[in-house]
Structure 1
Amino acid sequence: MTAAADIAPATSASLLQRAAAGNTLPILIVLGALLLVWYAFTVYLNAPWQIDAYARADTPWTAADLVRDTMAQERPVLPAPHQVAAEIWKTTAGTPITSKRSLFYHAWVTLSSTLLGFVIGTALGVLLAIGIVHNRAMDKSVMPWVIASQTIPILAIAPMIIVVLNAIGLSGILPKALISTYLSFFPVVVGMVKGFRSPEIIQLDLMRTYNAGGAQTFWKLRWPSALPYLFTSMKVAVAISLVGAIVGELPTGAVAGLGARLLAGSYYGQTVQIWSALFMAAALAALLVGIIGIGQRMVMARMGEKA
């Protein structure tokens, strides 16, 4: 009995030491601090309305009452973390996936246009990068336009894209996907141009010494050298592609998707709904970036890179 009692504290101490030695404990400390700040701002921002409600009802109140009631308002200025968590639970685990009240349903609608735009943007970015690296005219003419294209605010151009495409009979997922494409191709172009130009002069000279052609140099030297840049660019591109899909849902009057969920929440003052949709979007972006990270480790390990 004594030995078993001694093992439990030792195990707990070992777990704490491992958590402190790694990233777990610092992350938990930061999350805890953020939650405390969030709760503090919840009370601060919701207090004026609550105090006014007490005054209108001529109800006596204490500081404890104020703290409790500011965290339980139906339409708060800033919802408390537990309110957002309860809304996420209700609209995911507590709602059928096929229901239009389910966050999974709305996330899938947004994800479909995100992935289509991401695939098109990645392919377009790689093709443009190949042309820029291998053609001096494209380097001098196309690259400045690629950079200039990102100076146009997406909120300004999104309605124009939607209106023009609807005028020629294109609606549904494609207009939103093209907005995602517009945002996602840029990091891929920039990253892949850098990647294709990453081989050193001596490596290129060695390929010429072996009498390698342009295609052989590309596939055996430039492409393997550019793969780390490709995956890094894809991580940025998939996250910004999700932003493009959400923005594309705002001017269309869409009834499904995370953007539509955000818009409906803003119309009816449902701040808890807005925050739950934001957290679902963040989780979706993290999942997509994580999947690309797993693919990167698998591909680079296959190429012989050590972890």
Structure 2
Amino acid sequence: MVRVAESRWFAVSVVVLAIIAIWYWFTIQLNMPWQQSVYARAGEENVPFWQLLDDLFSQQRPVLPAPHQVAVEFWNSVVNANPSTPRSLIFHAWITLSATGLGFLFGTVLGIVLAVLIVHNRAMDRSLMPWVIASQTIPILAIAPMIVVVLNSVGLTGLIPKALISTYLSFFPVVVGMVKGFRSPEAIHLDLMHTYNASGAQVFWKLRWPSAVPYLFASMKVGVAASLVGAIVGELPTGAAGGLGSRLLAGSYYGQTTQIWAALLMAAALSATLIFAIAAVERLTGRLMGARA
């Protein structure tokens, strides 16, 4: 019993069960006023408690759907729906994933390039880094429509505008992480490289880059989640026919709260999958570089 109580899965299970219990409690509290008004219009009094719970958890458009309602909607939209049709969450997730992947690739490359410039050029450090930080103070919801409108005016539609919005959110953690990583080698190691008359390129590839690899993967995990958020936000002002953002927007228009929560659950699952994939690549890279387990 002690081993079970101290295991990681036991702790995770306790937290998940607590979240589900709190979720059900809020479901009852938020949906109760509507159900009471239904009973009042029907002239029903002294409704049995179990019937009340059944009615609360079976509302067509609840303020907050119960966990099992979201699970049923998720199952129907993922397993029972044709993946090639807009009714399937897999269909929408693939569209969002395409923009996320492209934006994440752009953001990672841009972040690494900016970090190299900042670390190796004092003028770039003083002039560029403050602008990189200031860029993240602008709300993405404010600039996303402008990016979409401007790019549409020059004929760029579809995947590119959403990818650029993802790039805007994902490059920042990569810049910050890689600047820290490139500067992580100790002074004694840099002095040793200079003692061996190593060139700037040799110092970078043999010392700075290996030292920055752990920071790269840590920042990529943050960046890929931010990239997914950017892709979803980029789908909101476009009126796109597909994507998790459009699914959320459609659910909001028609009051389909269970559809909204199912799409959010798919977005969370997609984000977790991407982060686990990066973690797997990180472990493989570590073994190839001779890191200890």
TM-score, L = length of structure 1: 0.94
Q: Secondary structure in 2 aligned to 1:255?
A: coil
Q: Which moved more, 1:126-135 or 1:26-35?
A: 26-35
Distance 1:18 1:115 in 2: 40
- 1:188 — aligned with what? 174
Query: C-alpha distance in 1, partners of 2:154/2:205?
Result: 40
Q: State the Cα distance separating 1:111 from its structure 2 match.
A: 0.3
* 3-state secondary structure, aligned to 1:124: helix
Q: CA deviation at 1:244?
A: 0.2
The Cα of 1:98 is off from its aligned counterpart by 0.5
CA distance in 2, matches of 1:136, 1:28: 50
Q: Distance in 2 between matches of 1:255 and 1:69?
A: 34
CA distance in 1, matches of 2:102, 2:3: 42
Matched-pair identity in %:
65
Question: Which of 35, 48, 52 does residue 50 from structure 1 map onto?
Answer: 35
In the alignment, structure 1 residue 82 sits paired with structure 2 residue 82:
no
Number of the residue aligned with 2:265: 279
* Paired position in structure 2 for 1:32: 17
Distance 2:158 2:50 in 1: 50
Cα distance per residue 1:239-288 (max 9 Å; x no partner): 00000000000011112000000000000000000000000000000000
Instruction: Give 2:250's match in structure 1, choosing from 243, 264, 286.
Output: 264
Partner of 2:240: 254
Counterpart-to-counterpart distance in 1, 2:140 and 2:30: 31
Please state if 1:169 is matched with 2:149: no
Distance between the aligned counterparts of 2:23 and 2:74, measured in 1? 17
Which residue identity is paired with 2:102? L
1:219 aligns with 2:205: yes
**Partner in structure 2 of residue 10 of structure 1:** none
Q: Is 1:290 equivalent to 2:243 in the alignment? A: no
Superposed CA offset, 1:150-186 (max 9, x none): 0000000000000000011100000000000000000
| Distance in 2 between residues matched to 1:100 and 1:196, nearest whole Å | 45
Q: Which residue of 1 aligns with 2:141?
A: 155
Counterparts of 2:2 and 2:110 in 1: how far apart (Å)? 48
> Residue type matched to 1:40 in 2?
W
Q: 2:219 aligned with 1:233, yes or no? A: yes
Task: Provide, for residues 122-171 of structure 1, a one-character-per-residue CA deviation record: whole Å limited to 9, x for no partner.
Answer: 00000000000001110010100000000000000000000000011100
Shift in Å at residue 26 of structure 1? 1.2
Gaps of 5+ in 2: none
Shift, 1:94, TM fit? 0.4
SS of 1:72 mapped into structure 2: coil
SS of residue in 2 equivalent to 1:227: helix
Q: TM-score, normalised by structure 2?
A: 0.98
Please report how far the alpha carbon of residue 302 of structure 1 lies from its aligned counterpart in structure 2 after TM superposition: 1.4
Q: CA deviation at 1:17?
A: 5.1
| Helix, strand or coil at the partner of 1:161 | helix
1:207 and 2:193 correspond = yes
Residues of 2 paired with 1:106 and 1:202: CA distance? 52
Q: Which residue of 2 aligns with 1:119?
A: 105
Q: Report the Cα distance in structure 1 between the residues aligned to 2:262 and 2:180, rounded to whole angstroms.
A: 38
Rg bigger for which structure? 1
Letter in 2 for 1:33: A
**How far 1:20 sits from its partner (Å)?**
2.3
1:254 & 1:54 partners in 2: Cα distance? 40
Aligned length in residues: 292
Shift of 1:19: 3.1
State the distance in 2 between where 1:45 and 1:67 align. 13
> What is the CA–CA distance in structure 2 between the aligned matches of 1:212 and 1:247, rounded to whole Å?
46
What's the counterpart of residue 108 of structure 1?
A: 94
Q: Can you list the C-alpha shifts for 1:96-126, whole angstroms capped at 9, x where unaligned?
A: 1111100000000000000000000000000
Give 1:21 deviation, angstroms.
Answer: 2.9
Q: Deviations over 1:192-251 (max 9, x none)?
A: 000000001100000011110000000000000000000000000000000000000001
1:146 maps to what in 2? Answer: 132
**Partner Cα separation in structure 2 for residue 32 and residue 151 of structure 1:** 36
- Residue 89 of structure 1 deviates from its aligned partner by 0.4
